């Protein structure tokens, strides 16, 4: 049985990792590892883990967002005017873009920071980001539970935890090393040809 303390640790760990700009681990991996390490298999607790990981991540990214939101006030008037012009173009699709980025394991700071600078609505920001993260983290929690069931036949619980940590580190490093913009450009070029 998972305790309230275990769930609070999941929330605060996610929040802490989320505060690390650009290099924090994916919330998909945090949710799956939380379910795996805690040995959770019941759907209600898996959804709770996904919810808490999404909440911790959304709160942490809100800190990034609010810092850039208030930093934009200290910019020169000329730069603020330019940002306001960009905001008119960006804000129409910002919620959808933020939702899509939040549902993927790709880094979201390249979207979060510009939205803060353009003073996108804090309420809309949190709602879109949290909704996107909720989808990916609930999926992650269920994947972690399923993986735990599969691995428990072959590994001890300790070996499963070590394997989970190693896979998380490898996946995080791979995401950091991959230039996702370059990869997207290559895919688009191949589609056009």
Using one digit for the tens of pLDDT, what is the confidence trace for 28-71? 888 988 888 888 889 999 999 999 999 999 999 999 888 887 87
Q: Would you place residue 85 in the very low, low, confident or very high pLDDT band (cuts 50, 70, 90)? A: low
**Range 171-183 average pLDDT:** 58
- Write down the pLDDT at residue 121: 86
Radius of gyration over every alpha carbon of the chain, rounded to an integer in angstroms: 18
- Write down the pLDDT at residue 113: 79
Using an 8 Å Cβ cutoff, are 11 and 99 in contact? no
Neighbours of 117 (CB within 10 A): 19
- Residues 31, 29: Cα–Cα separation, whole Å: 5
* % of the chain at pLDDT higher than 70: 66
Q: Would you place residue 108 in the very low, low, confident or very high pLDDT band (cuts 50, 70, 90)? A: confident
The pTM assigned to this predicted structure is 0.73
Q: Would you place residue 130 in the very low, low, confident or very high pLDDT band (cuts 50, 70, 90)? A: very high
> In sequence order, what are the residues at sequence separation of 6 or more whose Cβ sits closer than 8 angstroms to the Cβ of residue 46?
35, 40, 138, 141, 142, 145
């Amino acid at each position: 049985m998972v305790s309230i303390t275990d769930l609070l640790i999941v929330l605060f760990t996610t929040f802490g990792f989320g505060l690390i700009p650009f290099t924090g681990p994916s919330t998909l991996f945090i949710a799956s590892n939380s379910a795996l390490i805690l040995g959770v298999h019941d759907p209600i607790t898996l959804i709770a883990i996904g919810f808490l990981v999404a909440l911790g991540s959304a709160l942490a990214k809100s800190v990034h967002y609010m810092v850039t939101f208030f930093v934009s006030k200290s910019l020169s008037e000329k730069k603020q005017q330019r940002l306001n012009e960009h905001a008119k173009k960006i804000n129409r699709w910002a919620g959808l873009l933020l939702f899509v980025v939040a549902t993927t394991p790709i880094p979201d700071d390249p979207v979060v920071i510009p939205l803060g600078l353009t003073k996108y609505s804090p309420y809309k920001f949190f709602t879109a980001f949290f909704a996107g993260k909720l989808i990916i983290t609930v999926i992650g929690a269920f994947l972690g539970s399923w993986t735990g069931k599969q691995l428990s036949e072959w590994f001890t619980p300790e070996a499963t935890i070590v394997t989970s940590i190693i896979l998380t580190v490898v996946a995080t490093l791979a995401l950091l090393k991959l230039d996702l913009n370059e990869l997207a450009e290559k895919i688009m070029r191949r589609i056009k040809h």
